[in-house]
Chain A
Amino acid sequence: DAKTTQPTSMDCAEGRAANLPCNHSTISGNEYVYWYRQIHSQGPQYIIHGLKNNETNEMASLIITEDRKSSTLILPHATLRDTAVYYCIVRVGTNAGKSTFGDGTTLTVKP
């Protein structure tokens, strides 16, 4: 699985959009990008995933660059409850679905 690089921490004002970047410059053509978040003392929560097209669901939007070497998770209107560690993961389905989680980005939403 490709390695990902994320900033260690970010702040965001409540009500504003939170844009979380992820670099995955060694991504292969059949690898998907997944985003999870983990709120303190809970298990990771799935947010969104994509291959090469931009994706949107009720939680967030995922923007993947055309060369697929980086992506951005967008929380359109951050709330205090979005404060969490956000993980960007790249993996290929044939790897039995295993995920390798790095250190992630600690997002702090401030009032």
Chain B
Amino acid sequence: DVKVTQSSRYLVKRTGEKVFLECVQDMDHENMFWYRQDPGLGLRLIYFSYDVKMKEKGDIPEGYSVSREKKERFSLILESASTNQTSMYLCASSPPGYSNQPQHFGDGTRLSIL
């Protein structure tokens, strides 16, 4: 089974802190994604990566950056955390898009910014 592991289930940080969310997948997938999920807004794509050191902006990249130095690891960085970034963050991975294979998700990190 595909395993996508997010480093923390719950995280509390303060406004202005630099926050790192880590995600690791064990299926050698090329694609990795970061979403945030908020009530009434569904899942919104922040960034995705289709290869090591490659990244593409999603629908809401402002205030975030990402890093993919190794194929299995995709990090989401909140450069200066703000209260409006309090949310559930979900990481996903998949084979290349042309394969039409599904994404697989981690269990999420519930991040609170105080």
A interface list, Cβ under 8 A from B: 32, 34, 36, 41-46, 49, 51, 93-104
Contacts and interface: CB of A to CB of B under 8 A. Distances in A.
Question: What 7 pairs across the A-B complex have the smallest Cβ distances?
Answer: A43-B105, A97-B97, A101-B43, A93-B100, A46-B102, A96-B97, A97-B94
A43 B106 contact: yes
Given A43-B4, A45-B105, 11 more contacts: A32-B100, A41-B108, A43-B92, A43-B105, A43-B106, A49-B102, A93-B97, A97-B31, A97-B33, A97-B97, A98-B58
B47 to A, nearest CB: 11
B108 A42 contact: yes
Nearest to B90: A43
A98 B46 CA distance: 11
Interface string B72-108: 0000000000000000001010111111111111111
Contacts, number: 67
A96 B105 CA distance: 16
B87 to A, nearest CB: 14
A97 B31 CA distance: 8
Contacts of A95: 97
A51 to B, nearest CB: 8
Contacts of B40: 103
A103 B48 contact: no
A103 B42 CA distance: 6
24 contacts: A32-B100, A36-B105, A43-B4, A43-B90, A45-B105, A49-B102, A51-B100, A93-B97, A93-B98, A93-B99, A93-B100, A94-B98, A95-B97, A96-B48, A96-B56, A97-B31, A97-B33, A97-B97, A97-B103, A98-B48, A99-B43, A99-B103, A100-B43, A103-B42
Contacts of A93: 96-100
Interface in B11-44: 31, 33, 35, 40, 42-43
